[in-house]
Structures are given as C-alpha cells and as structure tokens.
Amino acid sequence: MKAKRVDAVIDWLRPIAEPVAKEAEFSRWISAHNADTDQAEDWCTACARAEVTRLNALHPDHEYLVDGGWGSSTDCPPYCCKCGKTLSDHLTSYAIRDEIDHYSRHSVTLRCKQGAERAFRFVQMLESHDFDVNDAATWRFFRRLEMMCKRAKGGAP
Ligand SMILES: [Zn+2]
C-alpha cells in the first residue's frame, strides 16, 4: 500500500531528475602507489583525471591514479570537490535521516534552480532500502512530497 504510493511519487520525480541523473556518476578519489592521499574528497572522473595528471607532473615518483567509481556509500550527498557536479553514491540511513531532518525545517519545493538536483536526491532517498515508511518522521516527509506531486498533477483535493 505505502510502497505503491512511494512508487507513484518516484515515477513523477524521475523525469524532473533526468537532467541530473543522466550526468551523475559514482565518485572517484585519488590514490597513489607511493604516497598518502586525502581520500576523503570526492571527485568526478574528469576532475580526478586532471588532478592526477597535475600531481604526476609535480611528483612522478608518487604514481598517482584515479580510484573509486564503483559506487560506495556515503553519509552526506556527494558532489565533486572541484567543480561541484552531483555524484550518485548510495546514501546511508544516516544520510537519509539527515536529509529528512533538513527538510523538516525547509521547503521541499522543486521550483528553484536546484529543482532537478533535489528531485534526483529525493529519488535516491525514496528508492533506498533505508527509507523506512514505517518511521513517523520519514512518512511525514514523504507525505509532503506526495502532496507536491498531487498538486503538480492538479489532483489535490
Ligand atoms: Zn568535477
């Protein structure tokens, strides 16, 4: 019952999220054979490649390389640390709770510059196994998305 309602909202969000979803990739990070690197930073592939080229020109003996790209889990929505591009790693239950908490204090509107980006994150959240519809705060958040969906479709009571 609830799952069907969630699916309906996902179907509505997906086309709005499409411009971001088709560009989003799993985050990369930078490793080196002979040096320690700061692997806490997320990169898109293009920026990671450019950074590796730059670092190898400076320190050829360190042998930097582009790592990652297989889709890890993250405690906050990931963006490229260089260009700000949206990355698509899986959100942990902690990340989802944090987002829900954020939106309990902010509007869930998609009528803003970040509309596609937000829709993309909402789809990620709703599709996650950690999106627990039996949790009261989670369901309240979902109901707000559902109301927005119904209004957009012109079917709100
Ligand atoms: Zn980038």
Does the pLDDT value for residue 14 go beyond 50? yes
Instruction: Give the position of tokens 């260009």.
Output: 83
Q: For residue 12, what are the domain limits?
A: 2-23+90-153
What spacing in Å lies between the alpha carbon of 90 and ligand 1's midpoint? 18
> Residue 79 C-alpha to ligand 1 middle, in angstroms?
8
- Asked if residue 157 has pLDDT above 50, the reply is no
Clarify whether residues 48 and 14 are in a common domain. Answer: no
Q: How far is the CA of 85 from the centre of ligand 1 (A)?
A: 6
Compute the distance from residue 108 Cα to the ligand 1 centre, in Å: 26
Establish if 84 belongs to a structural domain: no
Q: Are residues 108 and 133 in the same domain?
A: yes
The alpha carbon of 8 and the centre of ligand 1 are apart by a number of angstroms equal to: 33
The CA 157 to ligand 1 mean position distance, Å, reads: 44
Q: Give the amino acid at 57.
A: A
Q: Find the 117 Cα to ligand 1 centroid distance in Å.
A: 15
Q: What is the pLDDT of residue 105?
A: 96
The tens digit of pLDDT for each residue in 29-39 reads: 999 999 998 88
Query: Rounded CA gap, 128 and 132, in Å?
Result: 9
Distance of CA 46 from the midpoint of ligand 1 (Å) = 6
Centroid of chain to Cα 136: 23
Q: What is the pTM of this model?
A: 0.90
The 10s digit of each residue's pLDDT in 44-85 is 999 999 999 999 999 999 999 999 999 999 999 999 999 999
pLDDT, tens only, 81-138: 999 999 999 999 999 999 999 999 999 999 999 999 999 999 999 999 999 999 999 9
Whether 12 is covered by a domain: the verdict is yes
The answer to the question of residue 80 being in a domain is no
Q: Give the pLDDT score at 95.
A: 96
CA–CA distance, 92 with 74 (Å, rounded to integer): 6
